[in-house]
Structure 1
Amino acid sequence: MKALICDEPGRLSVISRPAPVRADDEVLVRIRHVGICGTDFHIFAGKHPFLDYPRVMGHELSGTVEEAPPGSALKRGDPVYIVPYLSCGACHACRKGLTNACQAIRVLGVHCDGGMAEYLSVPERNVVPTGGIALDDAAMIEFLAIGAHGVRRGAIAGEDRVLVTGAGPIGMSAIIFARARGAHVTVMDTREDRLAFAVDRLGANTSLPANASAGTEAMRMTGGDGFDVVIDATGNAIPMQRGFNFLAHGGRYVLLSVVRQDIAFSDPEFHKREATLLASRNAQPEDFAEVVRQMEAGAVPTRALNTHTGRLEDGVKLFADWSRPDTGVIKAILEV
């Protein structure tokens, strides 16, 4: 089979390798679409902290069943998406149902080879029928589930004023699902084009340029109160730390971002607000199901999000092109 492999930072190759052999509890999937996300670009750039090279990337995956175990509800040809988090099922987190925070988690395309290939064999529990969702849209379910999980972690409700910092794809997913819960959403970013897109196409209520006057403007917008919920999707320690300053008293701060370095905040200010700090890691099955529900309801503008497509065999050139900000990529999808 063909596969696109990252040999080392900055170097990709299209290779031929044997197709995987299905284990007894696994489903062999013919991969059809692979979404590319910030994790993949970080791997390509050599910035990912949890990875050994060479690596076949790809964890936003849809395809069709090629072979399933005897007695499985899945059959050859079924359209499916893949939940890319391989949890152990036995650790403390897994026993509590927190499979997204498994102590021994392996993420496809990061800790082990992923789906930028013609075939992938994964545990049956990680393979889910798409229902009525088109396969190219189904390749976007995983990144949208990240935002849906963060919104659920923040217990966002209709009366909340929410600030989403960072208008990349993960921030966009948080906007979509916060709005789906009826919250008033403000989006903050340095890029005017992303702010306009979030308001015009995703339904964000207001935008806030991330500049030196953002703190003053945020207080003006909220009558001096701050935001009930702040969701950080910047992937940068400096704005992550700055985000504490936008919280209302009793507010909740959800970190979708993860960075290598420590972050710090003022303990007196944090206590004065009686604020809550929440990490949000990966997603859980109910978040994937919520994405499907909202897609079926027409609440996810998939055509607007999917800005670039190309073939797996052209991935070496496309990856280099799509990693440049001037190409305007929001979500790029490789067709296999």
Structure 2
Amino acid sequence: MKTIILNQPQELKLIHQDFDDTLAPHEALLKIHRIGICGTDYHAYRGRQPFFSYPRVLGHELGAEVIALGSEAQNGGIKVGAKVSVEPYLNCGECQPCKNGRTNCCESLKVLGVHIDGGMVEYLKVPVNKLHTSEKLAYEQLALVETLGIGSHAVQRANVTEKDIVLVIGAGPIGLSVIQFAKINGAKIAVMDFSEQRLAFANQAIGIDVSIVPNENYSADDLRKTLGGNLPTVVFDATGNAQSMMKAFSYVCFGGKLVYVGLFQGEVTFFDPDFHRREITLLASRNALPADFKHIISKMESGEINTKAWLTHEAAFEDLPEIFETWLDPKSQVIKAMVVL
């Protein structure tokens, strides 16, 4: 079986390895057709990904075909030949958060391509309950569902409505996924990023109300002026940058919410009296839930989400080790790169 493995930072290789296609009762065997490349993969390649060890097979944004089912997986509605998106969060089902329906917060969560080997392979075995089908969507669309799930879950965490003024900091793929669902929920949306190109893409692909290219001294007073005298009711930080994440506290209105979608390896500090005075709600958002996958597939099938705009770069599976590093260059202007098998 052809496999692409990250042996160590900056060492991505195509190898051939044996594959045991014997299935456990609740497993499905998948033929991988599309692999989306995300920030996690880039961080791992650079050696900057938290909770990560090498060597590792990357890949958790997957569009795949079901080619076999285990003995107890054949009566669950998934059929051989189905096109599926893979929910890559393997939870235990036994811990307190799992029993409370918070499977994304499983105490022993294993994410494909992060904690265990993922989908940069020809064939992959996964629990059948981690598959989400669509008869309408193409494989590249199904590979986008997990990325969109991060934004969908974050927006639901904040309970965004049409009454909200939302600021999204960071217009990379995760920020774009937040923008997408904040817009679906009817909020007014401002987006902050140092890249005018990313802001232009966000406006063209999704549609935003305000674009902000901040300077180093950009302040809450500047933001208030930009927003006509108001501050955001909800701020999403999708940067994974420590300085940005801590500065984001100053942008939240009295009684507002701050949602951390990105993360970094370190400590967050803030001035507690100001935090209390404004009664800010601080939320973390982690991965997504099964309901998010179903919600996203429905929105994609109805045409409410324009997936074509997201896909800016593509490579054949065998070419990826040579091409991958070029996608790290800001001049390549990658929004979402897709690997084709």
Above 0.5 in TM-score? yes
Partner letter of residue 19 of structure 1? Answer: F
Instruction: From 269, 280, 289, give the equivalent of 2:285.
Output: 280
Partner letter of residue 157 of structure 1? Answer: T
Matched residues in 1 for 2:88 and 2:182: separation? 24
Matched residues in 1 for 2:118 and 2:241: separation? 26
CA drift at 1:291: 1.2
Is structure 2 residue 125 aligned with structure 1 residue 121?
yes
Please tell me whether the aligned partners of residues 250 and 274 of structure 1 are also in contact (alpha carbons under 8 angstroms): yes
Please tell me whether the aligned partners of residues 143 and 170 of structure 1 are also in contact (alpha carbons under 8 angstroms): yes
Greater Cα offset, 315-324 or 171-180: 315-324
Partner letter of residue 90 of structure 1? Answer: E
Matched residues in 1 for 2:41 and 2:131: separation? 21
Is structure 2 residue 308 aligned with structure 1 residue 303?
yes
Matched residues in 1 for 2:112 and 2:259: separation? 24
Greater Cα offset, 179-188 or 219-228: 219-228
CA drift at 1:197: 1.2
Instruction: From 322, 332, 337, give the equivalent of 1:327.
Output: 332
Q: Residues 144 and 20 of structure 1: is their aligned pair in 2 closer, same or farther, counting only changes over 3 Å?
A: farther
Please tell me whether the aligned partners of residues 20 and 121 of structure 1 are also in contact (alpha carbons under 8 angstroms): no
Residue 298 of structure 2: aligned partner: 293
Instruction: From 203, 209, 212, give the equivalent of 1:205.
Output: 209
Q: Residues 20 and 276 of structure 1: is their aligned pair in 2 closer, same or farther, counting only changes over 3 Å?
A: farther
Please tell me whether the aligned partners of residues 314 and 340 of structure 2 are also in contact (alpha carbons under 8 angstroms): yes
CA drift at 1:213: 4.7
Please tell me whether the aligned partners of residues 20 and 119 of structure 1 are also in contact (alpha carbons under 8 angstroms): no
CA drift at 1:35: 0.2
SS in 1 for 2:245: helix
Partner letter of residue 135 of structure 1? Answer: Y
Structure 1 unaligned runs (5+)?
none
Would you say how many aligned residue pairs link Structure 1 and Structure 2? Answer: 336
Please tell me whether the aligned partners of residues 63 and 140 of structure 2 are also in contact (alpha carbons under 8 angstroms): yes
Matches within 5 A, 1:1-336: 1-21=1-21, 22-70=23-71, 71-72=74-75, 73-215=77-219, 216-336=221-341
Matched residues in 2 for 1:220 and 1:161: separation? 14
CA drift at 1:327: 0.5
Matched residues in 2 for 1:296 and 1:8: separation? 39
State TM-score, norm by structure 1. 0.98
Q: Deviations over 1:289-320 (max 9, x none)?
A: 22112212222221110001111111101111
State TM-score, norm by structure 2. 0.96
Matched residues in 2 for 1:297 and 1:77: separation? 23
Matched residues in 2 for 1:269 and 1:157: separation? 26
Partner letter of residue 35 of structure 2? Answer: V
Partner letter of residue 96 of structure 1? Answer: N
SS in 2 for 1:227: coil
Partner letter of residue 225 of structure 2? Answer: R
Partner letter of residue 245 of structure 1? Answer: S
| Structure 1 runs of 4+ with >4 Å offset | none
Q: Residues 298 and 35 of structure 1: is their aligned pair in 2 closer, same or farther, counting only changes over 3 Å?
A: same
SS in 2 for 1:214: coil
